[in-house]
Amino acid sequence: MESKHISQPVAFLFAGQGNPTIGMGADLWDANATTRNIWDCASDISGLDLRRLCLKGPMNKLIQTNVQQMAVTALNVTLYSLCRTRFDQAPVVGACGHSVGEYSALYAAGALSLEALFSTIHFRANTMNAVSKRNKGSMLAVKGIGYSALHELIARAGLEIDICCDNSHQQQVIGGSSEALSECTRMLIAAGFEPVKLGVSGAWHTRLMNEGVQQMRDYLKDIEIVRPRFDVLMNVTGLPEENAPRIKENLSLHLTHTVKWTAAMERLLAATPQALFVEISHKPYLGSMLNDFSGFTPEKIVHCRQLTSILR
């Protein structure tokens, strides 16, 4: 596949935060003038030496959302820039980014400029970081259960817990305060589940982020967003959106609403003709969640690092 252009329909999946590693991106940021510009732009706008933080950490700094969101986004668009020539002849069925990865999808679709992308991520990340320090919380992954069943369990117990991400029919992520999560953990263990704490610094996509929603609305008023060149399925609805004001509202509500990844993946899987999924991430993980979907087989996804030798 390394030397061939892909002509079949494709769907791009962009990673979000929650999976950082020391050294991520070190093999890519000086690959060419485009990749250097991406990392320079991200560092200049954030005031962070992102190359150094990704190369040396420390990990407790890299997982902080004001650092991790910028780093993951820089890596996403770097990977996309290095493999996108493989798709010059391919119709794009759509794109979807998991959580903060949604911004990378919008950039890939031409809806955001590079500067607008990093400026918005910088504001979003710092807003979320500030809100998370006032409203402390965390997140847990729960496997073996779908959204509706988990929602019913939480509602029946009367817990102040939100489902942050509906990742598949067999994987959910929940968030809330430490106290509420402790109580929810005991309930889930008693029901036969094994919740796993995620390496994030706040309860993203939950009610604890509510005060950041209006701040995002106010900031996005001055950010230029144009009609995407191809469908970008929004996390808040699981549906494509092309109207700029509605995209901005989706991005604002993103802080408190469930990531409807299951709905988005079902829509892309139902596309005719069937699309090849291309995962844009440092390490593969989005593809593994697709194994929970009916009709999906491993040959229907390729990781971006498989597409060109520079990414290996």
Q: What is the DSSP string of 154-212?
A: HHHHT---EEEEEEETTEEEEEE-HHHHHHHHHHHHHTT---EE-S-SS-TTSGGGTHH
The CB density around residue 115, as the number of other CB atoms within 10 Å, is: 13
> What is the spatial distance between Cα 212 and Cα 219, in angstroms, rounded to a whole number?
11
Instruction: Provide the pLDDT for residue 312.
Output: 54
Nearest-CA neighbor of 50 among 21, 79, 70? 70
* Beta-sheet pairing, 171-176 with 138-143: antiparallel
Q: How would DSSP label each residue in 65-121? A: HHHHHHHHHHHHHHHHHHHGGGGTT--EEEEEESTTHHHHHHHHTTSS-HHHHHHHH
Closest CA to 101 of 132, 130, 80: 80
Domains of the chain: 11-134+206-311 (3.40.366.10), 138-197 (3.30.70.250)
Distance CA 121, CA 103 (A): 8
Per-residue pLDDT, 7? 84
Average pLDDT by stretches of 10, the chain with 312 residues: 71 89 90 95 96 92 90 96 88 96 98 98 97 96 97 96 97 97 97 92 96 98 98 98 98 98 96 92 92 92 82 55
SS3 readout for 7-62:
CCCEEEEECCCCCCCCCCCCCCCCCCHHHHHHHHHHHHHHCCCHHHHHHHCCHHHH
Closest CA to 209 of 118, 99, 105, 106: 99
* Owner of token pair 């844009």: 280
